[in-house]
């Protein structure tokens, strides 16, 4: 997740409230200004191999062209674009990481091609339109961090009518899984509440103040943290107990901010194991580099963050615990209604709601259960 300029999320045709840029920078961008965070992403071989292959296997999209790298971070995508033959690369970076990107461009002999611009893509002014926009904007479960907003803004401002986006398409997936994470989180929650109860007793005994009036609020905080927040995990494929389903498809060339402000879907997830405990749903994404209809890629490349035997990516998967879990068998299906909207408190975080109901192979249909979750 490269560091991206802020802005497009601040306003939209649907009239979303404005985002305070200073607060947003303090809460979000500062993380990406550190090399340790950039290194984490640069060590993700799946991520790196996909972008490297996308650029160099499709060099005709870059050779002699003008490229805009939105949220360049360390500058590696801009450097690759130059090495693939780009005539000019504008590398936009909101944070002080911009200076490191300039240094890397000089060290790799492409400083005459790569121009690093520190600022937000909503505010910078380029001297020309671009043929290619490249960006690594994807967050957890694709849309967390709302980074795609800035890419949309860059596209609408600077991409030529026949230009291409790297990546060009994206999909969000949902699947039924088995996991012991729910039991562990419940244990952690119980420990936290036991500790609070001891604290209440001690405060009463030693200081004569009854803190029990705050127990309900403390319980609510911990329920959200331990039981209602999605969990980052690198799942093994054998934890997926049924068929995954696409819940959102995005064409990066045409998508608008309103298209991604809310995601709603209803899917059926068939169970494929003879007997299993459906403890959670897992979400992940893939993106594709296929150019456009009028300017297709030489070779389509995919970056997939699905459960992987080799450990997957730094994005991992997001696990959404189901309470209560369900006993399922082969032939059963789980009907899931899903919604994900941006948090009112922080537009880069997501509030979600799942309604799930078990349809047994025998024809019996169980009552629907609704649970709220948070992607933070």
Sign for the CA dihedral angle at 110, 111, 113, 117 comes to positive
Give dist(CA 27, CA 21) in Å, integer: 10
DSSP alpha helix (H) spans, 141-232: 148-158, 181-207, 215-222
Catalytic residue of the set 22, 115, 145, 201: 145
Give dist(CA 66, CA 91) in Å, integer: 11
Which residue has 């600077």 as its token pair?
A: 158
Give DSSP secondary structure letters for 78-135.
HHHHHHTT-SEEEEEESSTHHHHHHHHHHHTT-TTTEEEEES-TTT---SS-EEEEE-
Contacting residues for 297 by C-beta, under 8 A, at least 6 apart: 54, 57, 58, 61, 164, 168, 289, 290, 291
Instruction: Note if 376 is an active site residue.
Output: no
Catalytic residue of the set 136, 275, 302, 345: 136
Q: Are 161 and 14 in contact (CB under 8 A)?
A: no
Instruction: Note if 145 is an active site residue.
Output: yes
Give dist(CA 291, CA 295) in Å, integer: 6
Torsion of CA 320, 224, 352, 280, to 10 degrees: 10
Q: Which of 109, 64, 70 is nearest to 91 (CA)?
A: 70
Write b or e for each residue in 27-48: b if 16 or more Cβ atoms lie within 10 A of its Cβ, otherwise e.
ebbeebbeeebbeebeebebbb
- The residues annotated as belonging to the active site are 136, 145
């Amino acid at each position: 997740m490269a560091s991206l300029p802020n802005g497009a999320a601040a306003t939209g045709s649907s009239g979303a409230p404005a985002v305070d840029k200073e607060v947003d920078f303090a809460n979000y961008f500062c993380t990406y200004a550190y090399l340790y965070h950039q290194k984490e992403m640069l060590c993700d071989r799946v991520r790196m191999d996909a972008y490297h292959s996308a650029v160099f296997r499709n060099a005709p999209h870059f050779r002699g062209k003008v490229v805009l790298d939105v949220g360049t971070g360390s500058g590696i995508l801009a450097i690759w674009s130059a090495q693939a033959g780009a005539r000019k690369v504008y590398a936009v970076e909101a944070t002080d990481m911009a200076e490191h990107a300039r240094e890397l461009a000089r060290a790799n002999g492409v400083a005459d091609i790569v121009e690093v611009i520190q600022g937000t893509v909503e505010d910078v002014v380029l001297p020309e339109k671009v043929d290619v926009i490249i960006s690594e904007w994807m967050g957890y479960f694709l849309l967390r961090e709302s980074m795609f907003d800035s890419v949309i803004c860059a596209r609408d401002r600077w991409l030529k009518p026949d230009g291409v986006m790297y990546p060009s398409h994206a999909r969000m997936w949902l699947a039924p899984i088995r996991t012991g994470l729910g039991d562990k989180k419940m244990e952690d929650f119980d420990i936290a509440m036991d500790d609070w109860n001891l604290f209440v007793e001690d405060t009463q005994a030693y200081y004569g103040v009854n803190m029990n009036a705050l127990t309900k609020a403390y319980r609510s905080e911990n329920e959200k943290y331990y039981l209602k927040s999605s969990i980052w995990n690198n799942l093994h494929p054998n934890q997926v107990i049924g068929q995954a389903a696409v819940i959102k498809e995005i064409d990066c060339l045409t998508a608008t901010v309103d298209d991604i402000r809310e995601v709603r879907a209803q899917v059926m997830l068939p169970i494929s194991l003879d007997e299993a405990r459906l403890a959670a749903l897992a979400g992940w994404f893939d993106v594709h580099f296929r150019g456009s209809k009028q300017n297709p890629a030489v070779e389509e490349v995919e970056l997939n963050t699905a459960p992987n035997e080799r450990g997957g990516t730094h994005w991992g998967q997001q696990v959404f615990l189901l309470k209560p879990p369900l006993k399922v068998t082969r032939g059963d299906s789980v009907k899931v209604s899903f919604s994900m909207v941006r948090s009112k408190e922080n537009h880069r975080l997501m509030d979600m709601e799942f309604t799930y109901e078990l349809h047994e192979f025998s024809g019996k249909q169980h009552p629907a259960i609704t649970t709220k979750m948070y992607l933070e």
